[in-house]
Amino acid sequence: MLFDTATIQPSQIYPLLVGGIIPRPIAWVSTQNKTGLTNLAPYSFFSVASVNPPILTITNIAGADRLAKDTLGNLLKTGECVINIVAMDQLDDMNQSCAGYSPEHSEIDEIGIETVASSHVSPPGIKASPVRYECTLRETLTLSDKPAGGVLVLLDVVAIYVDDKVVFDGVIQADLLNTVGKLGGNGYCTVACDIELERPVL
């Protein structure tokens, strides 16, 4: 079956994108507004954009009723965030943080999530997260301001916390990290290193 994206609605395109591009890593992003209220939201449109310098990317997809999550608004105002990697034992809290809390309510406070002070940025990290990337905003690129349009966010990584329990010989171990990935719809998956292949040398 072939889908011509020019002839179908965004609501039809969305499941074709998120259902085929799987699994996707989850950036659990903590930010603060100007008054210090902390916001926490998951983004599954998340990746590495550069290593030298270290830059991560998340994409904010506008909803039908609002163009930006509180996360993007906070980032544009303060320029700082923490990307917390979600391990399996945080899945329920992460899912609860997807609820439509108003900007006046902190997901962290409402859910009762324990945080830890960051070293280089003001927003706190999630204490139980085994990997945390402290970031500053580099730039944003608005790809579309229509519903379901995207804003690409580039983040400079200024510090990285890694729990000693998930590292061996200086390398983060996937089986010890025990992170989760996003599938289509309401689906999630665990990450297991079942296959290892040496990269071929020509």
Q: Would you give per-residue pLDDT tens digits along the chain (202 residues)?
A: 999 999 999 999 999 999 999 999 999 999 999 999 999 999 999 999 999 999 999 999 987 555 557 899 999 999 999 999 999 999 999 999 998 888 888 999 999 999 999 999 999 999 999 999 999 999 999 999 888 999 999 999 999 999 999 999 989 998 899 999 999 999 999 887 778 889 999 9
Q: Tell me the fold of 10-190.
A: Pnp Oxidase; Chain A (2.30.110)
- pTM for the predicted model, two decimal places: 0.94
CA–CA separation, 123 and 81 (whole Å)? 6
CA distance 75 to 71: 6
